[in-house]
Structure 1
Amino acid sequence: MKETSLLIFSSLLFLTGPGSCRLKLDSITEAKGVRGRSALLPCELSGLNENLIQIINISWHRYLPRELLAYTDGVQLNLTATQYVRRIRMSPLFQANMSLLISDLQNDDSAYYRCEIIWSYKGMAKKRSLQKDIFLDIEEVPVSKPVVMKIPEHLVVLSGDPFHLRCKSAIGSLPIEYYWYKHKPTDIRIVRKIQEGMNYSIESSKIRDTGFYHCAALNTANGKKLKERSDLIEVAVAERPPKPVVIVEPPANTIEDGQPVHLFCKVPGVLKTTQYRWRKDKVLVQPSRQNESFQNLTLHSLAQNQSVTYECGVTNNVRGRLFETWSDEVKLTPSAGNTSLDLQALISSTSVVGISLFILLLTGITVLLFKVQRSKKANSRNKSSKLLRSNSK
């Protein structure tokens, strides 16, 4: 059996060539890391011929003393060192790159580490080992100058809108403390601390939030406390542009079929930089060359019972940033030209009928009163005659 395996291996080696089965690992033997951050320990495999070689196990160890950190059988990754369980990562699958990532580095992570690969030739029981050692050096690095990231990028915001600032130093041993400062608008040399933390957010900005801001980053390196500050960042909070109003002539409820309609976009306190736009049924209307300002819009004809909506918008340039405000929608529905005439005729005929009924009612009341009066007089005469007859007797 052993002779058969050797024969198969020799045949494969002859077909593929002797240089195709030389496993090698990279030659990097030292890596540097910064306390609190992450470091990658490289372990890259080359010369793997899957027709000749099979990987059995890949593991990482720490020296000295020797301690098994993690290993994989090509299917499942097993983490064995308690203090590294949540801080190390490597691929559970066999691949050319089996590097080890260590996060949240501590000073005592400075040590020698070993990447070991257990392999064998296919068809042979003998296991072979390929390994490399690498030294990880942990450094304490002073914090770098922080950079402020802005959301929105151009920090001109409208009153009531949010804005967010984020402070971050790309280099430096962790932990890093961050502080935010705001400068006095009338004298930027006067500054006050406003908040601690990497982020500074205002959910509903006010005019008083306008001004210059900066952040500071602090850390400790080699026993010394160090501090760096960012450049100044300006935040401008502007009043909201007034909402435009659409005026319709003739009024929207009196438009007749085919009648021209004029729409006027009125904005209180118009600025020179104001630009006007119109939308019909939510679709932007393109301006004509003759009407550059596009503040007014004329509709030459509207079909009967054709319902359309119009709205006007204004765009204002506030310190280099454009803000757009739209009016409420105006609904236009023209009616037939004779509709108003028919309505007037109906009102007139109704009025005539009402007057006739009133006259008839008044006549009936007069006749009734006349009859009542006659009845009273007749009763009075009858009583008088009866009284005279009784006296004569």
Structure 2
Amino acid sequence: MILITGGAGFIGANFVLDWLADSDEPVINLDKLTYAGNLHNLASIEGDARHLFVQGDIGDRALVAGLLAEHRPRAVINFAAESHVDRSIHGPEDFIQTNVVGTFHFLEEIRAYWNAMEGIEKAGFRFLHVSTDEVYGSLGPDDAAFTETTAYAPNSPYSASKAASDHLVRAYHHTYGLPVLTTNCSNNYGPYQFPEKLIPLVMMNAVAGKPLPIYGDGLNVRDWLYVGDHCSAIRAVLAAGKAGEVYNIGGCNEKTNIDVVRTICAMLDALHPGSPVTPHEKLITHVKDRAGHDRRYAIDAHKIERELGWRPQETFETGIRKTVAWYLANPDWVANIATGEYRHWVEKQYGSQA
């Protein structure tokens, strides 16, 4: 079996669902269930004997040691992280605690577990650490895309904390021999994404006839990766990646934020004409830019294609259409999310402008 951390969050939950749709190998799913962890994401596998959910923190060494000893996973995939730039600006301490200190404690228990292995079991074990392209910093409009050898230059507390975790993972390989794999992905989108992020925020606000808040001029560029493609890339890295290596995962879809929002608005005009305000583009509202907002990210994913044969299957147009259709088809999930912590966050971040 495999151990997955953060498997009730956006990417982690998609990976769990994807894994169990394609494999009978059981999954232990360790998630702290912070605001972004949502068991409703896993409702379709409730009662599935192949899925064992455990609520807990990767920094709880006794809990982690017990899970490893009892279940003997052949691999560990670490999705667990605080992951939103805006939240890290307002409250960086949680990011340091989870992404840096938590990763350190987790690595210590993984190292002890691996050291006690022998033979084929030890040789086959892998620890896959899921990270972000934000550790590389910001690109100019004509700069070459990030490669696996691009120097780290994080610009937010979030990206700095993820950079620190990446460095720890690298160090545990080079110092202790722990067989690690690191992936750095571009901006994900798709089903089950907590709506503090751009695409689900725009979806929910547009359907409700609320303003669509766009930072600054809206010309910040991101490489957009459909979450299903990200899951397939992680499977490829786990299956055939070389221990100690880093693999960049990108969607080959650079888009400005304003173009993303306009695309969603146009789709909703066709698919959801009954919204309170149409055309939906009338709802676009420019708000004060984020502090230290990186201008452009772009991923060079040639290494994973060359070495592991992976390429994204979705274009942005096909992926965003699937995403919009999913949110429209799952109003109960949206209604459940759009209360409590999410509402409080939107009011804090955007005030009367959202």
Tell me the TM-score normalised to structure 2 length.
0.20
The structure with the largest helix share of the pair is 2
* Larger-Rg structure: 1
